[in-house]
């Protein structure tokens, strides 16, 4: 191929696997702490929409409802982290990484949507 290596360097695979694993673990922790109510309303971690930030009860409802989707979003990069350690062909490697990020975003959007829909209508 023109300018593309025949295999992905092992060091690049390892670095990306660690980054993906950390991302996945962060999402799993956010999902767990949100589902148990230990994640307090804040401006840094969690689902921060206008509706979820209105009250502590709204925050808890959104995160409790979104938790399964956050777990799925966290599991996606963890699976990709394992996969990139074994995939050496550059196109397949790129497909694993981009596919996992796309799936992660779908799960996150579904979680936000489901969590927000669980709130009672505004008066």
CA gap 75, 28 in Å, rounded? 7
Residue spans of alpha helices (H) in 1-123:
10-36, 56-84, 90-117
pLDDT of residue 35: 94
The structural domains of the chain, with segments of one domain joined by +, span 10-117
- Identify the pLDDT of residue 9: 93
pLDDT in tens, 18-28: 999 999 999 99
Q: Does the pLDDT of residue 1 top 60, yes or no?
A: no
Average pLDDT, the chain: 94
Q: What is the pLDDT of residue 2?
A: 65
Model-wide pTM > 0.75: yes
Q: Which two tokens stand for residue 77?
A: 């990069």
The pLDDT confidence band at residue 34, using thresholds 50, 70 and 90, is very high
């Amino acid at each position: 191929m023109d300018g593309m290596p025949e295999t992905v360097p092992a060091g690049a695979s390892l670095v990306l696997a660690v980054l993906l694993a950390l991302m996945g673990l962060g999402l799993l922790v956010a999902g767990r702490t949100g589902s148990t109510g230990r994640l307090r309303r804040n401006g840094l971690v969690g689902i921060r929409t206008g509706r979820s930030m209105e009250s502590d009860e709204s925050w808890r409802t959104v995160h409790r409802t979104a938790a399964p989707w956050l777990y799925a979003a966290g599991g996606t990069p963890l699976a990709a982290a394992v996969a990139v350690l074994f995939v050496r062909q550059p196109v397949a490697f790129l497909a694993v990484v981009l596919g996992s990020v796309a799936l992660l975003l779908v799960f996150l959007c579904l979680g936000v949507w489901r969590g927000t829909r669980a709130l009672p209508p505004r008066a």
